[in-house]
Amino acid sequence: MSEPAASGRVVCIVGPTASGKSALSELGSSVVSVDAMQVYRGMDVGTAKTPPAERHVPLLMVDVANVDEDYSVQRFQNDARSCVDELLRRDHIPVL
């Protein structure tokens, strides 16, 4: 496995639900969602997920588990880290 890009930079955009964070995420890379509820399929309204037709960049870590699935913090951390590492390997700056 290759090492992540030397810079290893990550951009983090934080704020409350529906505050416009997604509109700031167009930095030429993918967005790695770190919202604990957006990982679940079907939890669209209460989590203010950006609808697929309105996404300008790939949105990772969204709709990756069923609501009845055991999806732990450890699994979330591992999966999100894999997304970040893959973006860094491709010389993209991950946006979280």
How would you write the pLDDT of the chain (96 residues) with one tens digit per residue? 455 444 678 988 888 877 777 766 666 678 899 888 899 998 887 788 888 888 888 889 999 999 999 999 999 999 999 999 999 999 988 989
User: DSSP string covering 7-39, please?
Assistant: S---B----STTSSTGGG--SSS-EE---TTTT
C-alpha span between 91 and 15 (Å, rounded): 26
pTM, 2 dp: 0.79
pLDDT, residue 20, reads 73
